[in-house]
């Protein structure tokens, strides 16, 4: 017998709930090695005894050829003397060393499970919650680690004989698949109307399909929460939903049964198709076609959010539905998504006509992720289901750092926990500005700390003193955490961009709607010389006023009073857009702007674009976040940029874009509104691009980045990249975090780590 040795192995990464232990088992048995494998609190432990070359071959396979949903971060081995183990086994989990993120994200149903649902001979035929080790819910059902069935929402469902046999057979793909279940032993469905059960099981799905076909609006409780669902192809039904839910203009997401179906109403590029068919099944913002019914689903914008079915329930529902369905998060404006049956009855009673619900607990609320392909790259609009709680890099870390809890800003919030060289972002939380969303914020943080086993020692937050998350940071500090470490909003954007690319320093254009500036003004169009720990403002947009403060955000024509000299144009737009009732009221707004009364100063690129939208008639009143800029982009998509020089001026020794002169030039442009809109976007991109390139050259920096909410704009992103790359500099954009405020917590965590 060849000389034997023993390898004691520790594997970290996404290695629990993804078929990793049976994969290791099969490799070891095929190689005739002895030993065992087991889950631990922070990964997988394994012991192999046998010839060293054979063990090395198996370890190479574990690192490079693991299961579809697995990801190996580290594989550490220690060689010792063998102890005489006989055979290879999968042992019970150990809860020791519970740190890190051993729980994988939720994922869409795999093709094999979908085949099982369709196969009349399968034990899982027609069962809505069919899953295996390669697919299904994870993050939304797990209560604690290690990730085993008793620590999930499935602990209430004892396995039947058939499912248990599969669960206990190492060669079966349902081996230790913690959500394995069937119609005999798993969670059950029922259809409710008026609080009463009308049908159950497969019949409940058929009834839901019939009700949707009849034009009803339903709540459908799914994997990480509840959707409000109706027939997307019937404008009268969609308008009824808008009236009931209080969303007059905000676009709804649409679920279509197949890729071919999506292509019947949306213009897809290769990047869109790749994103739609990704196993994680995000919502993809794709260009709209000319289909009439989309006017009710996505009014006034040239994109539509589309997704494919990602659960067995969805596939079964489409068996009885022709066409596409509105599939939007079940929450009233400003509230978290409903996750419980009781919540559906209490909070959605006046919205829905019925509900398709199940009895499995949703441990962690988790909205659908949203992506958009911009300038050829996928960008997260919302990073949530399918990606949470996967870890992100923290290049600021060293061995002496304390773990950091970052609370995010106030809009589109995620939270983050940093420890070692990793940062874990929470699922999408939303706007944390009332008791219900603040409660969700706390629950999401608690769940994340439980899963990671990380006890934060430092708390970080936005620099804005009036954010509810800033008050939360003070509360955490009073409870014993160091801090708060306050991080300027746009520095967090820039640091997050640098960190995800492993860059220590870059010139970063951070352009968005609103961010608290250290000088007391509202920032939002900044060129920063940024490192992970600090920043310097080296350019951007010149300051302008917002007459009426928040009122100017909702009625962007008010901002024209500070940017245009032509009183007649300003008065006409103020009255025409409904910002004021009469010409005399318009004169008062102009006087308010001249006097600087209740007219906060801003450098916001978002507010500048809003003002252009009001100028060209793209948007009169903002009904939801980002609406004016989105409608402007839609108008500009049909226009052609005209030649226009970008005026510059000096602000306290720094060169900035003279936005008042720029808007005046746009107002005087003899061109159709679509061309004016396209010219505005082009000029803004060229101006910020030139400032960033000049700063990079002056400071010896060879990298320029672009982030913030404006980075979702296709034309601005393309033009800014062109300016940067034309000068021979490297160009960075967010790839793994949202450019918008959903990525702020990541940046805060990195900055707070770097400052230690």
Which residues are CB-neighbours of 587 under 8 A, at least 6 positions away?
571
**Confidence grade of residue 383 (pLDDT, cut at 50, 70, 90):** very high
The string of pLDDT tens digits covering residues 572-600 is 999 999 999 999 999 999 999 999 999 99
Query: Do 676 and 743 lie in a common domain?
Result: no
First to last CA, the chain: 55
Which residues are CB-neighbours of 518 under 8 A, at least 6 positions away?
463, 488
Could you tell me if 616 and 676 are in contact, meaning their C-beta atoms sit under 8 angstroms apart? yes
CATH number at residue 590: 3.30.420.40
CATH number at residue 44: 3.30.70.100
Query: Do 497 and 550 lie in a common domain?
Result: no
Q: Please check whether residue 680 lies inside any domain of the structure.
A: yes
Q: Please check whether residue 126 lies inside any domain of the structure.
A: no
Predicted local distance difference test score (pLDDT) of residue 67? 81
Query: Do 747 and 700 lie in a common domain?
Result: no
Task: Determine how many CB atoms are found less than 10 A away from the CB of residue 273.
Answer: 16
Query: Do 619 and 721 lie in a common domain?
Result: yes
Give the mean model confidence (pLDDT) for residues 494-523. 96
Give the mean model confidence (pLDDT) for residues 190-211. 96
In sequence order, what E strands does 422-463 have? 422-425, 458-462
Domain boundary among 343, 370, 397: 370
**Confidence grade of residue 245 (pLDDT, cut at 50, 70, 90):** very high
Percent of the chain with pLDDT over 70: 98
Predicted local distance difference test score (pLDDT) of residue 148? 85
Domain boundary among 90, 119, 139: 90
Q: Establish how many alpha carbons lie within 13 A of residue 574's alpha carbon, considering only the half-sphere containing its beta carbon.
A: 27
The string of pLDDT tens digits covering residues 18-35 is 888 888 998 999 999 999
Task: Determine how many CB atoms are found less than 10 A away from the CB of residue 285.
Answer: 27
Question: β-strands 303-307, 253-255: how paired?
Answer: parallel
Q: Please check whether residue 25 lies inside any domain of the structure.
A: yes
Predicted local distance difference test score (pLDDT) of residue 100? 52
Average pLDDT of the residues of the chain:
94
Query: How far is residue 74's CA from residue 93's CA, in Å, rounded to a whole number?
Result: 19
**Confidence grade of residue 275 (pLDDT, cut at 50, 70, 90):** very high
Q: Please check whether residue 379 lies inside any domain of the structure.
A: no
Predicted local distance difference test score (pLDDT) of residue 94? 67
Query: How far is residue 494's CA from residue 483's CA, in Å, rounded to a whole number?
Result: 21
Query: Do 423 and 353 lie in a common domain?
Result: no
The pLDDT of residue 352 is above 70: yes
Which H/E stretch holds residue 1?
A: none
Query: Do 221 and 358 lie in a common domain?
Result: yes
Predicted local distance difference test score (pLDDT) of residue 102? 59
The string of pLDDT tens digits covering residues 652-677 is 999 999 999 999 999 999 999 999 99
The pLDDT of residue 618 is above 90: yes
Query: Do 745 and 617 lie in a common domain?
Result: no
The pLDDT of residue 647 is above 90: yes
Q: What are phi and psi of 533, to 5 degrees?
A: -100, -25
In sequence order, what E strands does 339-491 have? 354-358, 370-374, 377-382, 391-393, 404-406, 416-419, 422-425, 458-462, 482-487
**Confidence grade of residue 16 (pLDDT, cut at 50, 70, 90):** confident
Predicted local distance difference test score (pLDDT) of residue 273? 97
Which residues are CB-neighbours of 39 under 8 A, at least 6 positions away?
16, 21, 45, 93, 94, 102, 146, 147, 148
Percent of the chain with pLDDT over 90: 88
Domain boundary among 67, 90, 113: 90
Query: Do 257 and 342 lie in a common domain?
Result: yes
The pLDDT of residue 467 is above 60: yes
Could you tell me if 270 and 286 are in contact, meaning their C-beta atoms sit under 8 angstroms apart? no
94 vs 756, which has greater pLDDT?
A: 756
**Confidence grade of residue 96 (pLDDT, cut at 50, 70, 90):** very low
Strand, helix or coil at 10? strand
Query: How far is residue 626's CA from residue 710's CA, in Å, rounded to a whole number?
Result: 9
Predicted local distance difference test score (pLDDT) of residue 104? 83
Could you tell me if 254 and 236 are in contact, meaning their C-beta atoms sit under 8 angstroms apart? no
Query: How far is residue 49's CA from residue 79's CA, in Å, rounded to a whole number?
Result: 10
Query: What is the separation of C-alpha 52 from the centre of its chain, rounded to a whole number of angstroms?
Result: 45
Strand, helix or coil at 654? strand
Query: Do 347 and 413 lie in a common domain?
Result: no
Predicted local distance difference test score (pLDDT) of residue 2? 62
Measured at the CA of 217, the angle between CA 214 and CA 219, to 5 degrees, comes to 130
Span of 22-36, 402-416, 676-690 with lowest mean pLDDT: 22-36
Domain that holds residue 627: 539-732
Q: Please check whether residue 122 lies inside any domain of the structure.
A: no
Question: β-strands 703-707, 730-732: how paired?
Answer: parallel
Predicted local distance difference test score (pLDDT) of residue 496? 98
Q: Please check whether residue 137 lies inside any domain of the structure.
A: no
Strand, helix or coil at 468? helix
Give CA torsion, residues 133, 415, 151, 22, to 10 deg: 30
Query: Do 328 and 441 lie in a common domain?
Result: no
Predicted local distance difference test score (pLDDT) of residue 98? 41
Q: Please check whether residue 177 lies inside any domain of the structure.
A: no
* Total number of domains in the chain: 4
Q: Please check whether residue 136 lies inside any domain of the structure.
A: no
Query: Do 287 and 267 lie in a common domain?
Result: yes
Predicted local distance difference test score (pLDDT) of residue 668? 96
R_g of the chain, CA atoms, integer Å: 27
CATH number at residue 394: 3.30.420.360
The string of pLDDT tens digits covering residues 429-457 is 999 999 999 999 999 999 999 988 899 99
The string of pLDDT tens digits covering residues 353-364 is 999 999 999 999
Query: Do 426 and 316 lie in a common domain?
Result: no
């Amino acid at each position: 017998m060849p000389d034997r040795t023993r390898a004691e192995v520790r594997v970290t990464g996404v290695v629990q709930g993804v078929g990793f232990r049976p994969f290791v088992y099969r490799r070891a048995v095929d190689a005739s090695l002895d030993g065992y494998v087991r889950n631990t609190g922070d990964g997988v432990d394994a012991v192999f005894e046998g010839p060293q070359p054979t063990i090395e071959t198996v370890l190479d396979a574990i690192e490079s050829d693991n299961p579809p949903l697995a990801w190996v971060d580290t594989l550490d081995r220690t060689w010792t003397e063998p102890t005489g183990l006989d055979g290879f086994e999968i042992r019970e989990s150990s809860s020791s060393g519970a740190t890190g993120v051993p729980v994988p994200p939720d994922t869409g149903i795999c093709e094999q499970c979908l085949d099982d649902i369709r196969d009349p001979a399968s034990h899982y035929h027609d069962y809505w919650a069919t899953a295996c080790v390669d697919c299904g819910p994870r993050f939304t059902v797990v209560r604690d680690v290690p990730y085993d069935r008793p620590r999930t929402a499935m602990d209430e469902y004892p396995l039947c004989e058939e499912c248990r046999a599969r669960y206990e057979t190492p060669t079966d793909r349902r081996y230790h698949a913690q959500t394995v279940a069937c119609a005999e032993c798993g969670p059950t469905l029922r259809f409710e109307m008026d609080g009463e059960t009308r049908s159950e099981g497969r019949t409940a799905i058929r009834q839901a399909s019939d009700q949707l076909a009849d034009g009803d609006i339903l709540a459908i409780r799914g994997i990480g929460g509840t959707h409000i669902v109706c027939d997307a192809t019937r404008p009268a039904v969609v308008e009824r939903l808008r009236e009931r839910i209080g969303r007059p203009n905000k676009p709804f997401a649409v679920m279509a049964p197949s890729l071919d179906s999506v292509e019947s109403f949306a213009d897809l590029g290769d990047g869109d198709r790749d994103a739609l068919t990704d196993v994680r099944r995000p919502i993809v913002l794709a260009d709209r076609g000319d289909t009439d019914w989309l006017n009710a689903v996505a009014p006034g914008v040239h994109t539509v959010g589309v997704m494919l079915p990602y659960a067995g329930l969805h596939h079964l529902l489409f068996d009885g539905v022709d066409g596409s369905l509105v599939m939007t998060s079940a929450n009233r404006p400003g509230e978290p998504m409903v996750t419980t049956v009781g919540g559906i009855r209490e909070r959605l009673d006046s919205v829905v006509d019925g509900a398709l619900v199940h009895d499995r607990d949703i441990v962690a609320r988790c909205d659908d992720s949203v992506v958009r392909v911009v300038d050829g790259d996928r960008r997260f609009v919302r990073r949530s289901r399918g990606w949470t709680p996967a870890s992100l890099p923290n290049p600021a870390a060293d061995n002496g750092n304390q773990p950091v809890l970052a609370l995010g800003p106030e809009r589109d919030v995620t939270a983050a926990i940093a420890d070692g060289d990793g940062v874990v972002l929470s699922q999408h939380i939303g706007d944390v500005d009332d008791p219900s969303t603040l409660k969700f914020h706390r629950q999401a943080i608690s769940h994340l700390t439980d899963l990671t086993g990380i006890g934060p020692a430092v708390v970080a937050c936005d620099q804005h003193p009036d954010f509810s998350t800033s008050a939360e940071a003070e509360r955490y500090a009073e409870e014993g955490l160091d801090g708060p470490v306050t991080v300027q909003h746009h520095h967090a954007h820039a640091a997050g961009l640098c960190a995800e690319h492993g860059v220590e320093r870059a010139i970063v254009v951070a352009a968005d709607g609103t961010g608290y500036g250290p000088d007391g003004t509202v920032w939002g169009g900044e060129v920063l010389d940024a490192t992970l720990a600090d920043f310097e403002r080296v350019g951007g947009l010149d300051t302008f006023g917002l007459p009426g403060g928040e009122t100017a955000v909702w009625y962007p024509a008010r901002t024209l009073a500070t940017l245009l000299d032509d009183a007649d144009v300003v008065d006409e737009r103020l009255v025409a857009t409904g910002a004021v009732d009469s010409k005399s009221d318009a004169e008062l707004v102009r006087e308010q702007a001249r006097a600087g009364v209740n007219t906060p100063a801003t450098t916001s690129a978002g507010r500048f674009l809003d003002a252009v939208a009001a100028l060209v008639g793209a948007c009169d009143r903002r009904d939801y976040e980002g609406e004016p800029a989105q409608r402007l982009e839609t108008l500009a998509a049909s226009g052609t940029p005209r030649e226009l020089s970008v005026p510059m001026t000096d602000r306290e020794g720094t060169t900035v874009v003279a936005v008042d002169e720029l808007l005046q030039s746009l107002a005087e442009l003899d061109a159709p509104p679509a061309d004016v809109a396209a010219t505005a976007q082009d000029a803004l991109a060229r101006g910020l691009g030139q400032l960033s390139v000049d700063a990079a050259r002056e400071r010896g920096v060879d990298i320029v980045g672009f982030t913030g909410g404006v980075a979702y704009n296709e034309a601005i992103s393309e033009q800014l990249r062109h300016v940067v790359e034309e000068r021979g500099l490297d160009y960075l954009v967010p790839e793994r975090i949202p450019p918008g405020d959903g990525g702020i917590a990541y940046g805060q965590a990195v900055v707070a780590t770097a400052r230690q």
